[in-house]
Structures are given as structure tokens and as C-alpha cells.
Amino acid sequence: MPRMAWDPIDDNTFTGDLPMDAFGAALARAAAQFAAANQRLPLTAELADALRSAIREAADVSNQGDADRMLARWSNLPRIAPTAHTPRAASGDILQIPYGGDGAKQVLARVLFAPTDQRPGPGYGLCLVVHDLDVPAAIDAVRAAPLLLRPFHVDHEEISEGRWRIVGHVEPDDTELPLFARQRPNGKGGWRTGLEDYFGAEVPDSPAGRARVVEPIAGSASHVVIAIRMLRRLIGWLPSYAEQFELTRPS
């Protein structure tokens, strides 16, 4: 397993793509091997057990106790395989996202849209916003709280495995959903950039509409936590994550 570290670029700015990519590839191989043998993907806690065993057998790995402490949180996660009864978020649900203090620090997020068979949406998974509001806070105060992260898309894994807990609900509102910028025929043999609502209908182009545009992609939940930690000044500024979430570096 590669040594995990953030390499400094300049004052309080870091990168670490190479070791993180190597780590991600190793996890993907382990998950694929597990799935081939067990006909399901491994739980996060099961991956932690496998990594701990590999580290203990590697004679060239130093500070093995540090690795045990880092993997302890993974190992202690609920061992709940995804089933029809596994928690899944609905539009309007309020989530608690742990981001620091071994889970003691938690920020509140809100599900703007969760796809269903009747309303699949654009196909990018859950659409969330993270509010600038930490636990404890009243659920009815969440919607009015400022945003820490603008709308983004992730899958259900963090919820189904118990890391992000559903703690409340407010009625969803489609007017809060982001817009997408799409290329459309201009009627003259060329193309123009137009705005679409979340479900594909064209909407008038305006500055207010442009401010609601996000990139139509789904990202990793781990990147969400890193972005929160950056904004809470728990880690240094990482430009690639800032670009992904369109973040402005705090002054």
C-alpha cells in the first residue's frame, strides 16, 4: 500500500493525487475480488479488515499502530449489506455528515432530489446541498441556513452503510434544484448554449438562471467530506477539490 501523504505546492496548498489514485485502484481490485468470490460488493468494514491484515503482513510498513487507528472507524461501521430495507434517502430528507473529531463534528445537508421509478431525474444520483450549520440544530432551521456547498450529486452508499444518517425531513421544492447548460440547435445550422431545468425542459436564459447552473456529474462522497474539512479549516487548501465544488478559498 502506498504511503499516504499530501505534498505541499505552496503555503498551505497541497496535492496528493498519485498516492490517492494508487490507493483507490487497490481498493477497487480488492472489491472486485471480493465480489467475484461472494456475489456482492464488500462492506466498508470488511475492506478495513482486509487492509489491516495486509498491513500487518507487510514487513516494510512502519507505524502499523497508526494504520490500526485510522482503520478503526471503518471497522466499527454497521455491517449492513444493502437490501430493500436498507435506508435510502428521499427528496427533502435532512442528513448528518460527519467531517471531523472522529465523528463528533457533523454538518447538516439536505436532499434536493432523490430519483425514483416514477421520477428518475437526470440520472446522476442524489442531489444534495450542505448547509453551513453544524449539529445540534433545529431541523426546521436547516432550509433557511446559508449553503456551505452548492448542489452536487452522489450515490446512496454513505446512507445505506450508516455513515450519513437521515435525521429529519422538510418538503422538497423543485425551484431549488440546479439548472444545466446544454448545447441546442440555433435554427441556423449551428449551436447555442441554452439552459435546461433539472428534468430537461428548456428555461429562459438569465443571470439568475446562470447562477443556478452546475456541472451534470456525480462525484465521490469522500470528496464531499474533504471539501467540508477544507472550508472548516481542518486541512489545507486542495485546488482540485475546490475546482470540483466551485469553492472560494476563505480569507
pLDDT at 146 over 80: yes
Q: Check residue 1 and give its pLDDT.
A: 40
Top-confidence residue, 13 or 241: 241
219 vs 199: CA distance, rounded Å:
19
For the chain, where are the E strands, in sequence order? Answer: 7-10, 13-15, 93-100, 105-113, 126-134, 147-154, 165-169, 180-185, 191-196, 202-203
Q: What is the Cα–Cα distance from 187 to 55, expressed in whole angstroms?
A: 61
Q: What is the DSSP letter of 29?
A: H
The average confidence (pLDDT) of the chain is 83
Q: Is the pLDDT of residue 10 over 70?
A: no
At residue 4, the pLDDT reads 46
Rounded to an integer, what distance in angstroms lies between the CA atom of residue 78 and that of residue 111?
22
Instruction: Dump strand ranges (E) for 43-146.
Output: 93-100, 105-113, 126-134
For residue 19, name the pLDDT band (cuts at 50, 70, 90). Answer: low
What percent of the chain has pLDDT above 70? 84
**What is the percentage of the chain residues whose pLDDT exceeds 90?**
40
Rounded to the nearest angstrom, the gap between the alpha carbon of residue 32 and the centroid of all alpha carbons in its chain is 22
Specify the pLDDT at position 2: 43
What are the tens digits of pLDDT across the range 160-177?
888 899 999 999 999 999
On the question of pLDDT at 16 being above 70, the answer is no
Task: Compute the half-sphere exposure of residue 106: CA atoms within 13 Å on the CB side of its CA.
Answer: 18
The pLDDT assigned to 24 comes to 72
Q: Amino acid identity, residue 74?
A: W
Q: Which amino acid is at 123?
A: G
Residue 111 sits at the vertex; the CA angle it makes with 108 and 117, to the nearest 5 degrees, is 155
Which residue would you say has higher pLDDT here, 105 or 36?
A: 105
Is the pLDDT at 77 greater than 80, yes or no?
A: no
Provide the CA 135 distance to its chain's centre, in angstroms.
18
